């Protein structure tokens, strides 16, 4: 922000319109984004109960200070001890981190060459290529996962093709395996990796590459010595944009994965919808958030830096 940008809010005449422009989204996000988190935090410290709502204690504001004291003394860390003590949750978290780390790595390996090729394509073709990569992102997530069920099921097209080619005798099981989950995740998140990577490849000065080529640097080496160091911010943003949501992913592992080792998003879903244990679900959510705090903070840092650079 420079001093030029302060004219609209300078002086005493901060207009009603200006106040509204700041206040409306601010209040909306406070009410529907921040407050809900505080409620999750509070309920994660409550106990499950057969009541409506199904947890205790409930803050009784009409009882004044005594009500507040009763409320605070009713809070406990029981749910967190349960989570920490139960292997099911621990495995769930570890499984989620593993799946997210592996699929983000695959996404980097697949996405970076694609993004680089887009940035090296003729200028006139680039907007079309961006649209082509964006288009699947605009179609439904659910539909993209469903498309893979068509292909991966036991008598699906992949097995038909493999048998016709003589590569396998019997149909192989693809659905309900980790392989299917990885295919689904890479397929769904590829645009999130490619577009930020493309944006940073496309931005930098091409004469650097020409200079390297003139000085006899082989092309693959130019890529590692010049291109990657200059573009790493975009790649990191893309990787985090994939990693963080994948840790909490529900749809892909639920539809393509097996039932033996579930990811944390599925555990939370089951806790909430099947077991109706709201405090446990809340505690799982808070623990998940704590786990993701560091990657989210790094992502935010990269983003806010991007804004400063742009201004």
Partner 1 sequence: MRRMSVTNLVALALGLAFLYVPIAILVVYSFNASRLVTVWGGWSTRWYAALLEDRAMIDAALASLLIATVSAALATVLGAFAALALTRFRFRGRLPFAAMIYAPLVMPEVITGLSLLLLFVAIDLDRGLFTIIIAHTTLTMCFVAIVVQSRLATFDRSLEEAAMDLGCPPGRTFFAVVLPVIMPAVIAGFLLAFSLSLDDLVIASFTTGPGATTLPIRIYSEIRLGVKPEINAVCTIFIAVVAATVVAASLIEKSRGREARALLA
226-255 binders of partner 1 (CB under 8 A): 234, 237-238, 240-241, 244-245, 247-251, 255
What are the E-state strand segments in the chain?
47-48, 55-56
Please confirm whether the linkage preceding 57 is cis (ω < 30° from 0).
yes
Question: Using CB under 8 A, which residues numbered 145 to 164 contact partner 1?
Answer: 146-151, 153, 155-157, 160
7-44 residues labelled b (16+ CB within 10 A) or e (exposed): eeeeeeeeeeeeeeeeeeeeeeeeeeeeeeeeebebbb
DSSP 213-264: HHTT--HHHHIIIIIHHHHHHHHHHHHHHHHHHHHT--HHHHHHS-SSS--H
Determine if 280 is a binding residue for partner 1 (CB under 8 A): no
Site mask, partner 1, residues 157-196, x = CB under 8 A?
A: x--x--------------------------x--xxx-xxx
Determine if 224 is a binding residue for partner 1 (CB under 8 A): no
CB of 176 to partner 1, least distance (A): 13
Residue 91 CB-half CA count within 13 A: 6
Determine if 33 is a binding residue for partner 1 (CB under 8 A): yes
3-state class of 165 per DSSP?
A: coil
Determine if 306 is a binding residue for partner 1 (CB under 8 A): yes
CB of 24 to partner 1, least distance (A): 5
Among 99, 107, 133, 180, indicate the residue that binds partner 1 (CB under 8 A).
Answer: 133
Residue 224: how many other CB atoms lie within 10 Å: 9
Determine if 275 is a binding residue for partner 1 (CB under 8 A): no
CB of 268 to partner 1, least distance (A): 5
CB of 86 to partner 1, least distance (A): 19
Determine if 47 is a binding residue for partner 1 (CB under 8 A): no
Determine if 123 is a binding residue for partner 1 (CB under 8 A): yes
Determine if 292 is a binding residue for partner 1 (CB under 8 A): yes
3-state class of 60 per DSSP?
A: coil
Among 47, 141, 226, 236, indicate the residue that binds partner 1 (CB under 8 A).
Answer: 141
């Amino acid at each position: 922000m420079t001093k030029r940008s302060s004219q609209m809010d300078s002086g005493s005449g901060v207009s009603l319109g200006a106040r509204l422009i700041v206040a409306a989204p601010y209040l909306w996000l406070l009410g529907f984004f921040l407050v809900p988190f505080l409620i999750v935090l509070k309920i994660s410290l409550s106990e499950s109960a057969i009541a409506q709502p199904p947890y205790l204690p409930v803050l009784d504001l009409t009882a004044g200070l005594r009500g507040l004291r009763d409320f605070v003394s009713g809070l406990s860390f029981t749910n967190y001890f349960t989570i920490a003590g139960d292997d099911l949750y621990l495995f769930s978290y570890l499984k989620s981190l593993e799946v997210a780390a592996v699929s983000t790595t695959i996404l980097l390996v697949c996405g970076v060459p694609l993004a680089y090729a887009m940035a090296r394509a003729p200028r006139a073709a680039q907007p079309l290529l961006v649209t082509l990569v964006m288009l699947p992102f605009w179609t439904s997530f659910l539909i993209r996962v469903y498309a893979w069920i068509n292909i991966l099921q036991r008598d699906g097209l992949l097995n038909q093709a493999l048998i016709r080619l003589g590569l396998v005798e019997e149909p192989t099981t693809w659905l309900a395996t980790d392989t299917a989950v990885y295919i689904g995740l890479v397929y769904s998140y590829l645009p999130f990796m490619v577009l930020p990577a493309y944006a940073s490849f496309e931005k930098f000065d091409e004469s650097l590459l020409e200079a390297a080529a003139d000085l006899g640097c082989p092309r693959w080496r130019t890529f590692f010595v010049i291109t990657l160091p200059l573009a790493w911010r975009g790649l990191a943003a893309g990787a985090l944009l994939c990693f963080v949501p994948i840790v909490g992913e529900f749809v892909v592992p639920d539809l393509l994965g097996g039932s033996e080792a579930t990811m944390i998003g599925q555990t939370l879903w089951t806790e909430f919808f099947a077991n109706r244990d709201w405090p446990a679900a809340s505690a799982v959510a808070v623990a998940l958030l704590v786990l993701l705090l560091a990657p989210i903070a790094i992502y935010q840092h990269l983003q806010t830096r991007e804004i400063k650079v742009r201004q």
